[in-house]
Amino acid sequence: MPLGVTRGRNDPVHVDFSADPHLLVLGAEGTGKTTALRTVLRGIARQYTPDQARVLCVDYRRSWLNAACGPDHLLDHVRAPQQLSALVPDVHAALSRRQGRQWAGPELFVVIDDYDLVATPSNQPLAPLLDLLPLAGEIGLRVVLALRPGQGRLLAHDPVARALRDLSAPGLALGVSLDAGALFGALSASALPPGQGLLVSAQGEGRPVQVDWTSHDLA
């Protein structure tokens, strides 16, 4: 799925959810974090029919993230904690029925912006999905979490973020802050223009990337 281009060379940069079903995105406000999620959502709408993929979009800041994939692919647009807490058990039940059998239906992309607003020490609404994360490739689950610098060390202890890291989920570090090391390993800190960062592979290799964005879309 297209994510952007290599800085300076304009070679296409992709993420492959069939090989690596999860993705972590780290970026401060204005670095392109939300824009990266919109790029992923647009890619879902282009590459899958609604029968092949659906999106559970979690957007507490109500930035209209859901509009990037369109209504046909949208399972739900979650804008409040109570709404997410009510949905997750149903998601778990539906995906659990896929274990160990041939199943038909859409892949489910759970796309969450500002995960640091969603997960708190007293409220971890995605925790019921923990047992399904290692089985994601078999049951059609894809999780994309975005969070802001300053929360990386905290969320390194969050069970879901920690599970994704332990499963060697690729990471997109925008702006490449010192805090990125908490989730993506040792990265050199450097200031980068908006929309630029490193796509860190499961092997810890960083590839410079310019996220696909326009001036009115950057967030």
Binding residues: 27-34
169, 20 in Cβ contact below 8 A? yes
- For 181-186, the CB contacts below 8 A with 24+ separation are 181/152, 182/152, 182/153, 182/155, 182/156, 183/24, 183/26, 183/152, 183/155, 183/156, 184/24, 184/26
Binding-site sequence positions for ATP: 27-34
Burial (CB count <10 Å: 0-12, 13-18, 19+), residue 203: exposed
First to last CA, the chain: 20
* Strands 107-112, 141-147: pairing kind: parallel
Enumerate the H helices of the chain as residue ranges: 33-47, 81-96, 115-118, 136-139, 152-155, 159-166, 181-184
**Burial class of residue 170 in the structure, from the number of CB atoms within 10 Å of its CB (0-12 exposed, 13-18 middle, 19+ buried):** buried
Between β-strands 171-174 and 22-26, what pairing exists: parallel, antiparallel or unpaired? parallel
Identify the residue whose tokens are 């993506």: 184
